[in-house]
């Protein structure tokens, strides 16, 4: 079961509702910047993890300005579309609300608060559209930093993330030519334990690095493991299938 740190109480709580019904994930973003994108990404990961656990979810974006621009940037970053209004939940038995927002000292109101530390750019210029030119690299760079820690990105971090994504896509393309093998039980358990522990994405990425380098693991098992994890990560790791290089 996915558990998440509630910034309102400082306690780890179940992300799934105690009673049957929909869970609403509401992302709260300010202007279009890296912190806002990190908030939207955290909401997207939360939705994907809940759905992998069988919890019905719907999502909203609350932003005082630049909502259309935020939506466009989110789409580029492979973040699932947000609903336009809360009317979609009418009569559907909403059971829990998870608010994903930038970390602050106080979190008024009701519901579970998933706090996201700020993100910033340490390189020349800070145009979000330029950073989105390689969305896979930006997504991985943000995923690589624990959600509760500030993320300071630069050209070196994006270049390293781009190389990793390219390497993993090439690996998946190669492994896809081998006989399929199931995800090893131990690997599946490690992946789920990582993302169900407050969405520990750096730990998920560490499992994939181990799988890619494990000397005795069949390539077919590597292939299925990466595709399974990509249901959460959304890095388009199957993007090079059919083009092994």
Confidence class of residue 51 from pLDDT cuts 50, 70 and 90? very high
pTM above 0.85, yes or no: yes
| Residues 67, 30 contacting (CB under 8 angstroms) | no
Domain boundary pick from 98, 122, 153: 153
- Length reported for the chain: 245
Q: What percent of the chain has pLDDT over 70?
A: 92
SS3 92: coil
Question: What CATH number does the domain containing 202 carry?
Answer: 1.20.120
Domain boundary among 100, 135, 153: 153
113 and 174, same domain (yes or no)? no
Assigned domain for 242 exists: no
Note whether residue 241 is domain-resident. no
Query: Is residue 238 domain-resident?
Result: no
- Which segments of 176-218 does DSSP mark as H helices, in order? 185-195, 201-213
Asked if 19 and 110 sit in the same domain, the reply is yes
Q: For the chain, what is the largest distance between any 2 Cα atoms, rounded to a whole number of angstroms?
A: 53
Q: Quick one: CA torsion of 233, 62, 134, 53, rounded to 10 degrees?
A: 10
Task: Give me the pLDDT at residue 156, please.
Answer: 94
In three-state secondary structure terms, 116 is strand
Assess if residue 60 is contained within a domain.
yes
Instruction: Mark whether 122 and 227 lie in a shared domain.
Output: no
If asked whether residues 19 and 78 sit together in one domain, one would say: yes
Judged by phi (left if over 0) then psi (alpha if -120 to 50, else beta), residue 186 lies in alpha
Same domain for 108 and 23: yes
3-state SS class at 9: coil
Judgement on whether residues 89 and 166 belong to the same structural domain of the protein: no
45 and 97 fall within a common domain = yes
What digits encode the pLDDT tens for the residues 209-223? 999 999 999 999 999
Q: Report if residue 34 sits inside a domain.
A: yes
**Domain tally for the chain?**
2
pLDDT of 20 over the 80 cut = no
Q: How far is CA 157 from the centre of its chain?
A: 18
Asked if residue 194 and residue 142 are part of one domain, the reply reads no
Same domain, 172 and 139: no
**What's the mean per-residue pLDDT of the chain?**
91
Look up the domain containing 179 and give its range: 161-233
Across residues 21-33, what is the average pLDDT?
Answer: 90
Residue 36 belongs to a domain with what CATH number?
Answer: 3.40.50.620
The pLDDT, as a whole number, for residue 245 is: 53
pLDDT, one tens digit per residue, over 187-213 is 999 999 999 999 999 999 999 999 999
Cα 23 to Cα 18: distance, rounded to the nearest angstrom: 10
pLDDT at site 183? 97
Out of 121, 153, 185, pick the residue that ends a domain: 153
Same domain, 68 and 173: no
Does the residue 175 lie in any domain?
yes
Over residues 19-27, the mean pLDDT reads 85
**Where residue 130 falls among pLDDT bands split at 50, 70, 90?**
confident
Say what the pLDDT of residue 85 is.
Answer: 58
CB atoms within 10 A of CB 13: 15
Same domain, 50 and 129: yes
pLDDT tens digits along 71-101: 999 999 999 999 865 555 544 566 789 999 9
């Amino acid at each position: 079961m996915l558990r998440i740190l509630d910034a309102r109480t400082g306690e780890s709580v179940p992300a799934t509702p105690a009673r049957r019904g929909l869970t609403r994930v509401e992302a709260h973003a300010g202007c279009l910047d890296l912190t806002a994108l990190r908030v939207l990404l955290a909401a997207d990961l939360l939705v994907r993890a809940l759905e992998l656990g069988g919890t019905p979810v719907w999502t909203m974006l609350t932003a005082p300005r630049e909502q259309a621009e935020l939506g466009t940037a989110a789409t580029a970053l492979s973040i699932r579309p947000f609903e336009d209004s809360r009317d979609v939940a009418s009569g559907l038995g909403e059971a829990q609300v998870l608010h994903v927002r930038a970390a602050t000292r106080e979190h008024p109101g009701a519901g579970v608060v998933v706090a996201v530390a700020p993100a910033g750019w340490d390189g020349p210029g800070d145009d979000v559209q330029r950073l989105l030119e390689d969305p896979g690299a930006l997504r991985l760079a943000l995923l690589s930093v624990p959600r509760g820690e500030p993320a300071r990105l630069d050209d070196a971090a994006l270049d390293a993330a781009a190389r990793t994504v390219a390497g993993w896509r090439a690996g998946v393309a190669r492994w896809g030519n081998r006989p399929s093998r199931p995800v090893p039980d131990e690997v599946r358990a490690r992946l789920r334990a990582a993302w169900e522990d407050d969405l520990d994405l750096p730990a998920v990425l560490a499992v994939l690095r181990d799988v890619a380098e494990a000397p005795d693991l069949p390539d077919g098992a590597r292939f299925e493991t990466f595709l399974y994890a990509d249901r959460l990560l959304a890095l388009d790791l199957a993007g090079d299938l059919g083009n092994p290089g």
